[in-house]
Each structure stands twice: as C-alpha cells, then as structure tokens.
Amino acid sequence: MTVSQSFDFDDIVVGAGHNGLVAAAYLARAGRSVLVVEAADHVGGAAISAEVFPGVGARLSKYSYLVSLLPEQVRQELGMTLTTVKRAVSSFTPSPENPDLAITIPQSDPEELRKRITEFTGSSRDAQAWLEFYTRTERIAKIVFPTLTQPLVSKEDMRELINDPNDWNDFFVRPLGEVIEASISNGTLRGIILTDALIGTFADAHDLSLRQNICFLYHVIGNGTGTWDVPVGGMGQVTGQLEDIATAAGAVIQTGVEVTKLEEITGGIRVQAGKRDWTARNVLLNATPSVLAELFGDPAPIIDIASGGAQIKVNMLLSRLPKLRSGASSEAFNGTFHINEGYQQLIDAFQAAQGGALPNPLPAEIYCHSLTDPSILSTELQELGVHTLTLFALHTPYELFARSNNPITKDQALHAVLATLNSVLAEPIENCLFTGPDGNLCIEVNTTVDIENNLNIASGNIFHSPLDWPWAQSDSEIGSWGVETSRENVYLCGSGAARGGGVSGIPGHNAAKAILNRAANSEGISTFY
C-alpha cells in the first residue's frame, strides 16, 4: 500500500454506492490507500437488498432490481462471482384495448417469437419487423458497449464505428418514435419497444432533444446483448461482493459518515464530515453532480421537469400471484409485464404529466423476482407460496409530488398504482397482498420525493442526472474518461458521470482508470491491469 506522505489517503471515495465500491476496489488493488465514506448506515446506495417489511423474511431489491450493464470485463477483473439468471420470458403484455388478450415475447427463440406476434397481430409483418429491429440494436450493442470502458471518442468516431448510415440515422439522429413507427404497426408492440426509452427518462417518443433515444440505447446495449437479468440473491449480492472485494484489497469503508464540505488544498482535497476531516490526493464523488456542487459551495445545477426523476417504484409481497384477465399462467410474471404501456397510452401519459396531472391510466411494469430466484425469501415464506412483486411506474415526474400548490400525495400515487395493476387482473391485487406481523399489508411506494430523500438524489432521478450519448460532448473531452471535473483532483465516479446510469460499475471503473493512468504518467509507474 502506498500511503502518500502528505495526505491521509491517496483517494477518498464519497459514497459507497456500487460505483464507489468498484472504484475503491480497483484503486486499493493497485496498492493505493483508499477511504470510502458513506452517509447511510449501510453500503449500496440504490443497489441494495433490504427487509422492506419489518419482521417478514423477504430481502427485496428495494430500488434497482435487474442487471444488464455491468460489464463482464469488470466482473472478471474484480473476481466477482455474481450469478445472474435469465428470466423465463422477455415480456408479457395485455392488449391496452382488451386486457383479455395478451402477448408473450420469449427470451431468445425467433420461431416462437414469430408465432406469438403473428397470432397476436393477425399478420406476420410485425414479427419480421421486430426481428429486424432487434438485429439492428444488437449490432449497435456489440459496437457501442465495449467503448464504455474506454476513453471517450468523438461523435464522428462513433459514427464511423457504427458504420451504417441507416442505423446511425434511425437510432442516433431521428427521434426514436419515427423509427418505431416506420418499423412496427401494432401499438402494443410499439409500446413495448418505447418503454426502454422511458425508464429513467421523462420524454416523448418524438422529443427533439433525443433523450429518449439515449435512454433506449443504454437499455439495449448491456454486455452486447441488452438482456436484463436477475441477480441471484438480489441487488445486495452485487454490492455485498463489491464491498468484500474492496475491503479485502485494503480499502477502509466507514458508514454513517456524511460528507458536508469539500475544499481544494495544495495538490489535493480536504474532505469534511461534520467535525471530522481527512485529506487526500484525489476525491471521487459517488454522489450526484448536485451534491458535488453543494459540497464545494458552487451553484446547484438546474434541474427541470425534463432532467428530473419521473418514476415510482413499488415493492410488494403477495400471499399468492393474482389471476389474470387473459387467463395466462404465472409465466406472465416471469419477465417484464407491461401494463397500460401501449404506444398511444405512453404518449398520452407523457402529455398528461407534462400538463401537471398524474397519468390515468398509469403506465407501469411489474415483475416477480421470486419466480426466478426464490432465495430472497425465507424458507417459511417459500413454503407458504409467497411471492414478491415489483412495480415501476413511468411518467410520474418529481414536479407533481414536490410542487407547493396541490401536490400529488403518496396516497393518490398508491391508488393510481393499484388501479393500473387491477386493470389487467381478474381479481383485485388487494386480495393477494401479504399481511406482515404488524398487521399491515406488504406494499411500499417510493415516489421520486422518497428516492430524493432516501438516496440524496436531487429530484429522485434514478440515474442521478440525464444520460448522455456515449461520446465526448466537446472536443476537450475526447480521450478523457468522462469522470473528470473542473477541479484537477476531483472525479465523479457515480451514475452522474458520462456513461453512468444503471447498475454498471462503469463510472467507478472509469474514475479509477483515470486516476491510475494519471498516476502512472506523472510518477512513471504502471498500476493498472
């Protein structure tokens, strides 16, 4: 371990979210002295498993729940033994016009997919178009994903890497709504595609900012395939392993320590947490860009309805899975189950929310973790046939809940959630909710305001800040890691860095890489893999 002579630590990581832990692991393994300080009394940030319902033996992935973007490279380099498993089906979607009818999209069986889409739409045209659409995104994924753990290239270089004018135009230049409409006729199928552009982003299909295209890109490129898998043991497994790896490498992790101020000193940074303080050559901020500004006393970044959070996350425990109007089996819950996420419904919901109303019906998706991975339930709950149910509602912007005049209440959010869910069920979900030992029904609603308060993320944006295209946003950024800040010894290592967003470890990896490369250049030593 190389403890710097003039600083308490080589590197201090502010925040022990999974990205902070990835950065700490890489830096400590390179022989540097690393302190990680975390405000909460536990590590993990938005990637945790928790006993959400007191006294009930279920360890739920309280916030994030599926893994796609965590590169195999990072897993291998850090020696993670995380198991992720594919869900039995990709998605299940009742028709918005008639929830008695539904379509199941299989995981990776083109012939079965062709059959299902042809049955559902009455023609084979959309089946072929669907296959072609995702062949294109898969080609893009294989090109773009490996670049995320490399220095940023220019937009022009990315265009050359994509090397197909049609793909470039359709996915990187035109609003995504145009290519969806040009490719697919059926509104239910169009909606399934569009949801990937809206998870973590408040946008319309035709938004000229293209933020829906950026969000879509991150949802379809993970590990070159874009599949979203279940982490066995829940999200706490991801974080727990990273904590063990960082600690084994020598990183010191202190929880319950909220950093209150950062200050530049000669050649380094002073980190203050109330009355305590430490110095380090570098600080890596795992918290949001808003927290970075706050800690240095800089003006806060402007967050408007377009850049703020817009999702509700609901955790439920069910005594049994509910019956469906379509009569489908429990297989329906074993993938992403889309509710009121038809293409036009999503467009209408965006407009309603933009106009200040909670969308009705609320577009949402659900999935049952315990069908794929029962290990998150105690043996007793498993024997009782209990299941988890996660719901993620779209187009519920922070502004609706935080406005001073007549804000949407949590109770209204709960009612909207129950109503949308019940619209596809043959029996009320209330009949199936498990009752905890305290006599309360096991349902927990997290609005954007809850996410803001619980995770110190201004406006509850699940990706900390709006996602960026995965290339340099200015000439000066070309060749950088997208983690550098205006201060020489301060790096972003969380979701708010370039190419952040999601459980990926990518900003953590990239911040460590930036620091180690700089150290190697200035000290003439090679410390990276």
Ligand X SMILES: Cc1cc2nc3c(=O)[nH]c(=O)nc-3n(C[C@H](O)[C@H](O)[C@H](O)COP(=O)(O)OP(=O)(O)OC[C@H]3O[C@@H](n4cnc5c(N)ncnc54)[C@H](O)[C@@H]3O)c2cc1C
Q: Name the site residues for ligand X (rule: CB under 6 A).
A: 14-20, 37-40, 45-47, 63-66, 69, 258-259, 286-287, 291, 313, 451, 455-457, 462-463, 494-495, 501-503
Distances (CA, A) of 142 to 23, 75, 348: 25, 18, 34
Q: Closer CB to ligand X, residue 215 or residue 451?
A: 451
Any idea which residue has 């927290």 for tokens?
291
Tokens linked to 88: 């039995």
Contacts of 303 (CB under 8 A, 6+ apart): 290, 458, 459, 461
- Three-state DSSP class for residue 38: strand
Q: Closer CB to ligand X, residue 342 or residue 502?
A: 502
Angle (CA) 64 130 359, round 5°: 50
Strand order in the sheet with 89-94: 102-106, 89-94, 336-339, 364-367, 387-393, 312-318, 443-446
β-pairing, 312-318 vs 443-446, is antiparallel
The whole-angstrom separation of Cα 258 and Cα 294 is: 13
Q: Are 482 and 497 in contact (CB under 8 A)?
A: yes
Q: Closer CB to ligand X, residue 326 or residue 420?
A: 420
Q: Closer CB to ligand X, residue 46 or residue 347?
A: 46
Q: Closer CB to ligand X, residue 89 or residue 259?
A: 259
Q: Closer CB to ligand X, residue 16 or residue 425?
A: 16
Kindly report the length of the chain.
529
CB of 508 to ligand X, least distance (A): 7
Q: Closer CB to ligand X, residue 51 or residue 438?
A: 51
Any idea which residue has 């084979």 for tokens?
124
CB of 519 to ligand X, least distance (A): 23
- Three-state DSSP class for residue 310: coil
The whole-angstrom separation of Cα 366 and Cα 334 is: 9
CB of 300 to ligand X, least distance (A): 14
- Exposure string of 356-370, with b = 16+ CB inside 10 Å and e = fewer, is eebbebbbbbbbbbb
CB of 490 to ligand X, least distance (A): 14
The whole-angstrom separation of Cα 383 and Cα 239 is: 28
CB of 95 to ligand X, least distance (A): 26
- Three-state DSSP class for residue 93: strand
Any idea which residue has 């029996």 for tokens?
427
CB of 352 to ligand X, least distance (A): 22
Q: One-letter amino acid identity for 206?
A: H
CB of 125 to ligand X, least distance (A): 32
CB of 156 to ligand X, least distance (A): 28
Looking at 221-312, list the stretches that DSSP marks H as alpha helix, in order from N- to C-terminal side. 235-248, 289-296
Q: Closer CB to ligand X, residue 236 or residue 501?
A: 501
CB of 310 to ligand X, least distance (A): 11
Residue 269: phi and psi, rounded to 5, are -140, 140
CB of 88 to ligand X, least distance (A): 18
CB of 68 to ligand X, least distance (A): 6
The whole-angstrom separation of Cα 244 and Cα 437 is: 33
Q: Closer CB to ligand X, residue 158 or residue 291?
A: 291
Q: Closer CB to ligand X, residue 276 or residue 320?
A: 276
Q: Closer CB to ligand X, residue 180 or residue 235?
A: 235
Q: List beta partners, residue 280.
A: 9, 269
| CB hemisphere CA count around 295 (13 angstroms) | 29
Any idea which residue has 């990187």 for tokens?
172
